[in-house]
Amino acid sequence: MYIDIDELAKEFGTSRALHPVSLSIPAGALVALLGPSGSGKTTLLRILGGLEFPTSGRVLFDGKDATGMSVQERRAGFVFQHYALFRHMTVFENIAFGLRARKRRERPGEAEIGRRVNRLLDLIRLPNIGGRYPSQLSGGQRQRVALARALAIEPRMLLLDEPFGALDAKVRKELRQGLREIHDTTGLTTIFVTHDQEEAMELADLVVVMSMGRIEQIGKPADIRSRPSSDFVRAFTAA
Ligand SMILES: Nc1ncnc2c1ncn2[C@@H]1O[C@H](COP(=O)(O)OP(=O)(O)OP(=O)(O)O)[C@@H](O)[C@H]1O
Ligand SMILES: [Mg+2]
């Protein structure tokens, strides 16, 4: 699915979280929203997922106006920094949750749910942990399970907000690689928020540099490095 963001703005009371921003995201792209704290990254991501609504402007999915669409209709898979898995459910049940929650008509049968969950456990390279509870997993494993849970509903796009933010440097790098692989396997349009320039530059096809509710620059990592559009971008993306 391709996404167009057209002059999207968001105010909370009198404060502007987003000035009108516009951005086109090609189908299947892996996009980083990169910027310092308070630059509007989460606000933009939440508006895309339908968790927040813009004050003005439009969002289009595959060319169709999706601005007023509900969360359910948008079918986004979400992963947050602290995506609390359900503690009383096994990994298997956590991943199956979104499928079981479907209306009877759309719900796959038990055998199909089992097949899908096992396929996702393979995809996150944790094939043998279906029977464990979240408390029996490392932080990195929990985020992988959160990713599998987000993928289980067969989303149209994947939205991740600092998904590796709470993890140590080594695990972050592993999960970065894991996300890249999963993206390349699924081909899903994927947007992730980070304030870590290294993460954005290493992982993304397209980097969107944000500052104070504005988009400073949109480009491929190499282009942003070689031709930063402002002193801010130069300083923020310096290796
Ligand atoms: N629900 C809200 N009510 C009021 N102001 C908000 C709300 N959500 C965000 N803001 C404000 O909007 C601005 C952008 O916030 P946002 O969370 O999008 O930033 P961010 O780039 O994700 O920052 P961080 O890296 O710290 O997560 C900030 O000034 C923030 O205080
Ligand atoms: Mg944020």
Instruction: Write the pLDDT tens digit of every residue in 121-139.
Output: 999 999 999 999 999 999 9
The sheet that has 214-219: what strands, in order across it?
76-80, 157-161, 189-194, 30-34, 206-211, 214-219
The closest of 236, 83, 96 to 163, measured between CA atoms, is 83
Contact 150, 78 (CB under 8 A): yes
Read off the pLDDT of each residue in 169-188 and give the average, rounded to a whole number. Answer: 92
Our CA angle for 8, 12, 14, nearest 5°, is 105
Specify the residue with its C-alpha closest to ligand 1, atom 16: 40
Question: 211 in ligand 1 pocket by Cβ < 6 Å?
Answer: no
Atom of ligand 1 nearest to the CA of 43: 18
Q: Which atom of ligand 1 is nearest to the CA of 16?
A: 12
Task: Answer yes or no: is pLDDT of 197 > 90.
Answer: yes
Is residue 14 within 8 A of residue 28, CB to CB? The reply is: no
Distance 106 CA to ligand 2 centre (A): 34
In 3D, which of 87, 100, 97, 149 has the Cα closest to residue 123?
149
**Tokens 């499928």 correspond to what residue?**
99
CB of 33 shorter than 6 A to ligand 1: no
For residue 215, list its beta bridge partners. 210
Is 37 a pocket residue for ligand 1 (Cβ < 6 Å)?
yes
Q: Which regions of 26-173 does DSSP assign to beta strands (E)?
A: 30-34, 56-61, 64-65, 76-80, 157-161
Tell me what the pLDDT averaged over the chain comes to. Answer: 95
| pTM assigned to the model | 0.95
**Whose atoms come closest to the Cα of 43: which ligand?**
1
Question: Which atom of ligand 1 approaches the CA of 15 most closely?
Answer: 5
188, pLDDT greater than 80: yes
81-108 pLDDT, tens per residue? 886 799 999 999 999 999 999 889 989 9
Q: What percent of the chain has pLDDT over 70?
A: 100
Q: Which atom of ligand 1 is nearest to the CA of 33?
A: 21
User: Of the ligands numbered here, which is closest to the C-alpha atom of 210?
Assistant: 1
Is residue 222 exposed (0-12), middle (13-18) or buried (19+ Cβ within 10 Å)? exposed
